[in-house]
Amino acid sequence: MRNAFGIAKKEISSYFSSPMAYLIGAVFLVLTGVFFAQYLLATQEASMRGFFSPASFFLLLISPVITMRLIAEEQKMGTLELLLTSPVTDLQVVVGKFLASMAMISGMLLLTLYYFVLLLWVGSPDLGPVATGYFGLILLAGSILSVGLLASSFTSNQIVSAVVALGILLLLWLLGNLGSFFNSVPWARDILNYLSLSTHYSELVNGVLDTRDVVYYVSFIVLALFLTVRSLESRRWR
Amino acid sequence: MIEVEHLSKYYGNFMAIEDISFKVEKGEILGFLGPNGAGKTTTMRILTGYMPPTSGTARIAGYDIFFDSLKARREIGYLPESNPLYGDMSVRALLEFFGKLRGLDKKYLKRRISEVIEKMRLEEYAETDINKMSKGFRQRVGVAQAILHEPAVLILDEPTIGIDPVQVVETRQIIKELGKEHTIILSTHILPEVSMVCQKVIIVNEGHLIAADRPENLSIGISGQDKIKAVVRGPMREVAAALRDLNGVETVDYESTGVDGTARFNVSARINRDIREDLSKLIVNRGWGLLEMQPVGLSLEDVFVKLTTKEEI
Ligand SMILES: Nc1ncnc2c1ncn2[C@@H]1O[C@H](COP(=O)(O)OP(=O)(O)O)[C@@H](O)[C@H]1O
Ligand SMILES: [Mg+2]
């Protein structure tokens, strides 16, 4: 674990040494802020819904930019050779990089608590849905970032990595919508709905904490990280 | 210290190295010599645990590179071919990072960082971002990184490539110095480098190991067998033609010695082929006079050039 933290720490400081992290954070805050304010003014209700709904989709759009360089850049620069010949396991490398991207997104989400403070000031928001909403957002972020990391392990080109990640993510996101075409075949609809990244999230935003949703996201993350480790290993075997 | 047994590596169907075996004893500097594409980098990547061999094994300090990979890797300091480093880190941050990954404890790491910074004379650059440094200084950072954890074995892949001549001389000096504390494998395609720095040399070509010895033995071992200077009395052209027909002979050239009817012949034969007896018999049988015969020792360079250029005969 110490090795994974060491790798995470290095990645985090390299995020902060480039303007990209600040830029992404700013874009995210401005966009979600606009939606939050608009919802607040239109409904006059002290709720975070106006933030949670668009936040998930914006997260999906910006995360590939956070993860794209994590492994691709190392392959391009050749530093992967130094990293993988250090006495660390591939799993530690993958977990370290994943934790770094999680820390970035978590930091960004922490800043959005400012919306909640604003709500406390203008009304009395219900705490439950806010807590489950943030919990959902973190789980969703983990899933999105793990796919981004996987895509980053496929290539030494950051742009390719981002595009591949976005493609996979949009597909997984829209599986729920696809489900509605299958209303006459209930089992197919249910499977598609279950697999979709978005459906589980809406449950959590509604304040419903169901273990099935948590299990879904956690298994999703574990699977994606596992595939990333395999993908790294296969680089070695080539 | 390093035992390599029957290593082979195929990239798909392409054979990069085949059946490479050698040993390096503790404290030796081994020169791993071969032209571009010979398989040097491939071999080193296998030894450092970057990729597994297709078949064969190797042990570093007694640890199997496959089954005890992490332990073996702890014993290795590695300078990869193009010296890749994280450009956005300072020298100190980079050393801290790799020190932690190699499991060094805080106090020891702190001490070692100042030691290697001093040893590689990087004091002025300790806080500088690596991508702002010149190639020569980056090279020193690469070496600093490799020796940080005082590994038993150093694996240096073409450490003098792409830096200016002054730094090349400096780097060789550093490597010799490091040889006092580490067992070293050093790959290169520059021949004189081996005689300058190494106590032992292996030559690879197209994935095959074709010679392994001490640099001086490599020339002694085959001297007198494949390059001969002879002074012969007889008709120059006829003698030359007869010599060329001799089994094992590759080239013959000659010049008049100035003394009437005699000429000096340079005969070179295939490696490891002693033609001295055949040559003297031939000349005597034809009724010519063998006035002088002298084997010429091959330099390491002759060996290298000879072994790595394809034989036509
Ligand atoms: N990843 C790879 N995939 C396919 N072929 C490779 C790969 N790496 C090296 N090769 C080939 O293997 C041979 C040996 O390469 P290498 O070990 O880099 O030689 P050297 O370091 O002696 O120049 C070369 O012909 C090279 O083109
Ligand atoms: Mg090479």
Tens of pLDDT, residues A58-74: 999 999 999 999 999 99
**pLDDT tens per residue across span B29-48:** 999 998 888 999 999 999 99
Residue B265 in tokens: 């012949």
Chosen from A85, A234, A236 to mutate, greatest number of chain B CBs within 10 A = A85
pLDDT given at position B223: 42
The domain boundary residue, chosen from B181, B202, B219: B219
Query: What percent of chain A is predicted at pLDDT more than 70?
Result: 99
- Has residue B38 been placed in a domain? yes
Which of A232, A213, A236, A235 is closest to A224 using CA atoms? A232
Q: What average pLDDT does range B130-138 have in this prediction?
A: 92
Q: How many CB atoms lie within 10 A of CB B8?
A: 17
pTM above 0.90, yes or no: no
> Do B98 and B184 lie in a common domain?
yes
Helix (H) or strand (E) holding B143: helix B135-147
Q: Which residue has the tokens 């020190």?
A: B99
Please give the average per-residue pLDDT across B95-116, as a whole number. 95
B186 in any annotated domain = yes
Min distance A88 CA to chain B CA atoms (Å): 7
The pLDDT score that the predictor gives to residue A43 is 84
| Distances from the Cα of A224 to the Cα of A95, A190, A216, angstroms | 11, 22, 12
Domain boundaries, position A117: 2-237
Question: Does the pLDDT at position B90 exceed 90?
Answer: yes
Same domain, B180 and B231: no
B15 contacts B167 by C-beta, under 8 angstroms: no
pLDDT of residue A196: 86
Last residue of a domain, which of B219, B239, B267? Answer: B219
- Collect residues with CB below 5 Å from ion ligand 2: B 40-41, 81
Which pLDDT does position B46 carry in this prediction? Answer: 95
Same structural domain, B110 and B168: yes
Q: What is the gyration radius of the CA atoms in chain A, in angstroms?
A: 19
- Taking 70 as the threshold, does the pLDDT of residue A238 lie above it? no
A16-55 core/surface letters (b: 16 or more CB in 10 A; e: else): eeeeebeebbeebbebbbebbeebbeeeeebbbbbbbbbb
Claim to verify: residue B37 and residue B88 sit in the same structural domain: yes
What is the total residue count of chain A? 238
The confidence score (pLDDT) of residue B309 equals 56
Identify the H or E element spanning B173.
Answer: helix B165-178
Which has the minimum average pLDDT: B69-73, B143-147, B251-255, B291-295? Answer: B291-295
Spatial separation of the C-alpha atoms in residues A147 and A93, rounded to whole Å:
15
Confidence of residue A38 (pLDDT cuts 50, 70, 90): confident
d(CA A110, CA A129): 16
> Average pLDDT, whole number, for chain B?
87
For residues B73 and B66, give the distance between their C-alpha atoms in angstroms, rounded to a whole number.
Answer: 10
On whether residue B310 sits in a domain, the answer given is no
Q: Is residue B291 part of a domain?
A: yes
Chain A and chain B share a number of CB contacts under 8 A equal to: 67
Structural domain including B46 reads 2-219
User: Which of the two residues, A88 and B304, has the higher pLDDT score?
Assistant: A88
For residue A161, what are the CA distances in angstroms to A70, A75, A151, A168, A170?
10, 12, 5, 11, 14
Rounded CA separation A182/B77 (Å): 59
CB B153 within 8 A of CB B60: yes
User: What is the pLDDT, as a whole number, of residue B313?
Assistant: 34
* Three-state DSSP class for residue B156: strand
What pLDDT does residue B206 have? 87
* pLDDT mean over B264-269: 86
What is the overall mean pLDDT for chain A? 90
Q: Where are the beta strands (DSSP E) in B150-226?
A: 153-157, 183-188, 200-205, 208-213
Q: Does A236 touch chain B (CB under 8 A)?
A: yes
Quick one: A105 exposed, middle or buried, by C-beta within 10 A (0-12, 13-18, 19+)? Answer: buried
- Look at residue A4 in the predicted model and tell me its pLDDT: 92
In 3D space, the residue among A159, A142, A140, A161 whose CA is nearest the CA of residue A150 turns out to be A161
Residues B35 and B177 in one domain: yes
Residue A179 has pLDDT above 70, yes or no: yes
Q: Is A156 on the interface with B (CB under 8 A)?
A: no
Tally of structural domains, chain A: 1
Residue of minimum CA distance from atom 5 in ligand 1: B11
What CATH number should be reported for the domain holding residue B18? 3.40.50.300
User: Does B11 contact A at CB distance below 8 Å?
Assistant: yes
Query: Atom 25, ligand 1: which residue's CA is nearest?
Result: B37
Judgement on whether residues B183 and B244 belong to the same structural domain of the protein: no
Query: Nearest bound ligand to CA B81?
Result: 2
> According to DSSP H, which parts of chain A are helical?
2-16, 19-43, 49-67, 69-77, 79-84, 90-111, 113-122, 127-153, 158-179, 186-195, 197-205, 211-237
The rounded radius of gyration (Å) of the Cα atoms in chain B is 25
pLDDT of residue A122: 81
Q: Lowest-pLDDT range, A65-79, A129-143, A184-198?
A: A184-198
Same domain, B40 and B79: yes
A1 contacts in chain B (CB < 8 Å): none
B254 shares a domain with B190? no
pLDDT at B266: 87
CB atoms within 10 A of CB B311: 9
Contact B201, B218 (CB under 8 A): yes
User: Could you tell me the pLDDT band of residue B220, with boundaries at 50, 70 and 90?
Assistant: very low
- The CATH number assigned to the domain holding B282 equals 3.30.70.1340
Same domain, B215 and B243: no
Does B98 sit within 8 Å of A82, measured CB to CB? Answer: yes
Final residue in a domain of this structure, among B219, B234, B256: B219
Count how many domains chain B has: 2
Least confident of A38-42, A216-220, B79-83: A38-42
pLDDT tier at A49 (50, 70, 90 boundaries)? confident
Top-confidence residue, A124 or B54? B54
When pLDDT is cut at 50, 70 and 90, the band that residue A236 belongs to is low
Burial (CB count within 10 angstroms: exposed 0-12, middle 13-18, buried 19+), residue A180? exposed
The burial class, CB within 10 Å (0-12 / 13-18 / 19+), for A219 is exposed
Let me know if residue B311 belongs to a domain.
no
B50 ligand 1 Cβ < 6 A:
no
Report the largest interatomic distance among the alpha carbons of chain B, rounded to a whole angstrom.
Answer: 83
Please check whether residue B243 lies inside any domain of the structure: yes
State whether residue B313 sits within 8 Å of chain A by CB. no
pLDDT above 90 as % of chain A: 57
Question: Residue B36: its pLDDT value, please?
Answer: 87
pLDDT in tens, B187-202: 998 888 888 888 888 9
The larger pLDDT score, comparing residue A233 to residue A182, is at A233
The rounded distance, in Å, linking the Cα atoms of A40 and B224 is 96
Residue B310, pLDDT > 80, answer no
Give yes or no for A227 touching B (CB within 8 A). no
Same domain, B266 and B125: no
Q: Which of A26-35, B210-219, B294-303 has the highest mean pLDDT?
A: A26-35
pLDDT above 70 covers what percent of chain B?
89
What confidence tier does B257 reach under pLDDT thresholds 50, 70, 90? Answer: confident
Asked if residue B37 has its Cβ within 6 Å of ligand 1, the reply is yes
Q: B16 pLDDT exceeds 80?
A: yes
Residue closest by Cα to atom 6 of ligand 1 = B11
